[in-house]
Amino acid sequence: MVQHGRAVRGATADGQRRHVLALPFGHGAGRQGCAKGPDALIAAGLCAALDACGGSIETLALPWDQPAHRLAHPNPALKSLALVRAATQAITQRAFEISADSCPVFVGGDHAIAAGTLPAMARRAKALGRPLFVLWLDAHPDFHTLDTTGSGNLHGVPLAYATGQQGFAGYFPALDAPVDPSRLCMLGIRSVDEAESLLLARSAVTVHRMEAIRSGGVDGLIKPFLERVRRANGLLHVSFDADCLDPTLAPAVGTPVQDGLTLVQAELLMDRLGASGLVSSLDLVEFNPDLDEQGRTARLLVDLIARLFAPAGTGFRVEAA
């Protein structure tokens, strides 16, 4: 039996481990509750959804109190800057460590955790001499800098930070290996602020808005990207924000946006990712159990993760540590 916070060990048939790192951090979001996401998803059967994967589960102890020395910044809207910096540092270090011998699944928490997971996986890819590709599944690009965010909620900045945009030096940890924007694909985007649009227009990021999915379908967008990853022998990090889904399907998110991925589109996408065998790490973020109606968002997320990893065809064999 899996207990939250207790390490468990196992292995898949090919020897690859799946390490679930629970990151109960919610200080990047404007609405509290995401910090309870890992517990709720595990209770909803996340470990069973990872039935195909041997590995371990741990909960990372993250800072919950503001550090003694606050970080002053010209943007007065910024919230919990010193706390998010401290969490980013802790997540980056642990995520890099576990990626040495496993395919990590990072369960949040809000999307601010990606400020730690993305640099960690970019550093791992650099150490392996392989390129890192990122698939960003989200209603929002999270491409604000510390200077441009109007809400001050730092779950809106991780991708700008991880790709090395200006304005983070001295506030966030220095990047050992920035994510190359040309290897970043956003899918499901439908809420972009003007400042983010300007930054994205100057970058090489591929942005597929929901209009493109509705007109051309998921397959026509994801297949060329996956082929790029395969040809480059790249690592693929998938960052899955629950608000990429339509809120009629997944209402338990803090920043819902209408007209998101349908159930058919989401299932097809997970099937394609799973069948590719290319996914080397995953974020699952922004699920807020305080907003869940009879647990239906949690069940849907667990089902989608099961589809992603089902092609592995092995069992999540857990033994007491």
Instruction: Return d(Cα 205, Cα 305) in angstroms, integer.
Output: 25
The pLDDT, as a whole number, for residue 125 is 98
Banded pLDDT at 52 (limits 50, 70, 90) = very low
Of 30, 41, 229, the residue nearest 111 (C-alpha): 30
Once rounded to an integer, what is the mean pLDDT over residues 79-94?
A: 96
**What is the arithmetic mean of pLDDT over 45-58?**
70
Convert the pLDDT of each residue in 218-237 to its tens digit: 999 999 999 999 999 999 99
Let me know: does 59 contact 113? Beta carbons within 8 Å: no
Render pLDDT for 61-76 as a digit per residue (tens, 0 to 9).
Answer: 887 666 657 789 999 9
Strand order, beta sheet including 55-59: 55-59, 17-23, 102-108, 279-285, 235-241, 132-137, 184-189, 206-209
Q: Which residue has the tokens 């395919």?
A: 103
Cα(54)–Cα(26) distance, integer angstroms = 28
Using CB atoms within 10 Å of the CB of residue 249, give its burial: 0 to 12 exposed, 13 to 18 middle, 19+ buried: middle
Is 207 in contact with 98 (CB distance < 8 Å)?
no
- 45 φψ region: left (φ > 0), alpha (ψ -120 to 50), beta (else): left
**What gap in Å lies between CA 12 and CA 53, rounded to an integer?**
6
Assigned CATH for 8-320: 3.40.800.10
Cα–Cα distance measured from residue 249 to residue 262, given in angstroms and rounded to the nearest whole number: 8
| pTM listed for this prediction | 0.92
The 10s digit of each residue's pLDDT in 271-303 is 999 999 999 999 999 999 999 989 999 999 999
Dist. CA 231–CA 235, nearest whole Å: 11
